[in-house]
Structure 1
């Protein structure tokens, strides 16, 4: 087994040789996107492009974990497989052939880069075996990453660390963010239901109006973060859906609001959940109504391992990439389930240069980003392969 230092130059040279085939794979995957929960076709296409593995374990319904490089403790790299329900408007010859479905979050780029790395490790060897994690359902619930963790396949495969890379249009092309600590927020959905007593809109004094009560609740919730959370930390609470009644002259009996709440710290997450329920109930009662808050817990915060980030930084620079250590966002990614269980590193790879934003119908990173993502994954892999 070679050392990470000895492996870097050989792997980087072989990785460069694998990029043209990886770009072709990216085009094929982009043209045939699969929705969340139905990724078997994408999985099989990627499996066919990988070198002959030492073992394939199906997981999370349509996912797979593939071992490259023999037995023993291994480093995992994650590739997400699902596309988004977005109609494509890029105009390229390899645009989506499936109306209303598109790789608008870069998963086609990530998968192609993972394959390039796996083929390079297979061809020239590496300091540790590589586990290719083909993950379903990154974009929807139930989370594919969470299911992979719960099934225990990574423990059985002696995983010692997990590495991921995600294209990011907030960064310039050629730059990679390798930020230690929390880089993405937890993400939880909530529903506020206010119940009153409806009636004729001409006689509001004979009703307990849940619409008015909900309006007060929404305003109170929107100001909650500034008075319940330390201003030096980040929490986002957004009410995005309001629903009540269906007739202009009828005060309905119930009104609902839905939204999202995100936090960078577990303590803040717990605090905001508790205060939301308290505030909604008290404000609704002041209007003669009752309120309850239901919270659906989503991804935890994504916490990059400090040692991995430090070890990967010089390796990224050796690959000719600019490195920053400041990108954090209230976005979320279920890669965080891996970071809860294993030392993990999520790298953000810049795409800026005309590319639209993530989840946009015109989002189309340059093919050059396949190389950048592959180099980022290689740096993370080598960093995780260093002796403990």
Structure 2
């Protein structure tokens, strides 16, 4: 396997220049979630001739490199975000969409890996998953899984990598265990009685009820969750009324619940409803709570994480300290079905914040992400050899 690693690394480094150019083209022509057909065609056009390609999940595709039998899958994401880019580079997008989460980097790195594996051959076939709709619901990962395509390809393990400005350039985190939180969204609606703002005694005030709920919700993590387990309750949207002298008949808040632990996830769901009902009743209002369940927590297989870390070091990258965050990724659905590994590839603080109009990973991020994916692929070949 060491000899294969050296051969694959050499072939991969030969692909870096082309991968950087492909990345710039993808970056300049982003597609929003559910409309990624052009991006998918671009990636397939960069694949070696004669590979098996099949459509999946509407606007996605699966590309197989190698023969039949058990394989290792590498997930890359196709979609961009509805953000107007402000990076001012010559290859900036100009259509109101933007690869502000690094999917252009992931795609070009995946292309480089597929081409390198095709050149050197491999003991285990590689399946490149071009997944749509990572950024929106319904999840593209769920549709890929529901298609049963990965079972037909006999996937033994799933590998992914995501750029991360919290790490320095050249650092990669291959962290065992839970690395991302589950992510659920909630809507809380407080119902009162509309009327003139000068006569607050004539009806219950839903704005007051909602204000009390927003404050009380912040205590859920502080007092209901084990302090040794990460969890987050954040409210990002509040809507109420349209005039300063009119008491509205309802007020609405929307937010997110995130947790590393399934039991605490369910506890937060129950306590959110209890708190909403309690504060509403305390001021004479009624409450309605709606929960939209999102991605589960993302769990990295320890065997893959350990083996990939050793490969990363062999490739000249720095293994960072363990990195975990309350961010979420629908890669977690794959991890529920197969042994999986999501690595985080450093881009440094100078690249900007993910999901911002100024985010721009460097060319080196393409190289480092390709090497990380190769490290994960080789780790899976070792940890889960074909039977």
Q: TM-score, structure 1 length as denominator?
A: 0.97
**Is 2:363 aligned against 1:356?**
no
**Is 2:175 aligned against 1:171?**
no
> Where do 5+ consecutive residues of structure 2 fail to align?
none
By how many angstroms is 1:101 displaced? Answer: 1.3
Q: 1:89 to 1:38 in 2, by over 3 A?
A: same
**How big is each residue's C-alpha offset from its partner over 1:200-252, in whole Å with a ceiling of 9 and x where there is no partner?**
22211110111111111111111111111011111100111111121222211
- Which residue pairs with 2:372 in the alignment? 376
Q: Is the Cα–Cα contact under 8 Å of residues 70 and 125 in structure 2 kept in the other structure?
A: yes
- Which residue pairs with 1:20 in the alignment? 17
Question: Could you tell me how far apart the structure 2 residues matched to 1:31 and 1:194 are?
Answer: 44
Q: 1:279 aligns to what SS in structure 2? A: helix
Question: Could you tell me how far apart the structure 1 residues matched to 2:135 and 2:211 are?
Answer: 31
Question: Could you tell me how far apart the structure 2 residues matched to 1:52 and 1:340 are?
Answer: 33
Question: Could you tell me how far apart the structure 1 residues matched to 2:364 and 2:278 are?
Answer: 55
**Is 2:194 aligned against 1:198?**
yes
Q: Is the Cα–Cα contact under 8 Å of residues 303 and 383 in structure 2 kept in the other structure?
A: no
Q: Is the Cα–Cα contact under 8 Å of residues 304 and 383 in structure 2 kept in the other structure?
A: no
- Which residue pairs with 1:37 in the alignment? 34
Which one of 85, 88, 105 corresponds to residue 88 of structure 1?
85
> Where do 5+ consecutive residues of structure 1 fail to align?
none
Segment drifting more, 29-38 vs 347-356:
347-356
Q: Is the Cα–Cα contact under 8 Å of residues 258 and 326 in structure 2 kept in the other structure?
A: yes
By how many angstroms is 1:356 displaced? Answer: 0.8
- Which residue pairs with 1:263 in the alignment? 259
Question: Could you tell me how far apart the structure 1 residues matched to 2:107 and 2:326 are?
Answer: 24
Q: What is the 5 A alignment of 1:1-388?
A: 4-98=1-95, 100-352=96-348, 354-388=350-384
Question: Could you tell me how far apart the structure 1 residues matched to 2:330 and 2:50 are?
Answer: 26
Q: 2:257 aligns to what SS in structure 1? A: strand
CA-atom RMSD in angstroms: 1.1
Question: Could you tell me how far apart the structure 1 residues matched to 2:199 and 2:207 are?
Answer: 15
Q: 2:347 aligns to what SS in structure 1? A: strand
Segment drifting more, 46-55 vs 185-194:
46-55
Q: Is the Cα–Cα contact under 8 Å of residues 127 and 382 in structure 1 kept in the other structure?
A: no
Q: Is the Cα–Cα contact under 8 Å of residues 180 and 325 in structure 1 kept in the other structure?
A: no
Question: Could you tell me how far apart the structure 1 residues matched to 2:83 and 2:188 are?
Answer: 28
By how many angstroms is 1:353 displaced? Answer: 5.7
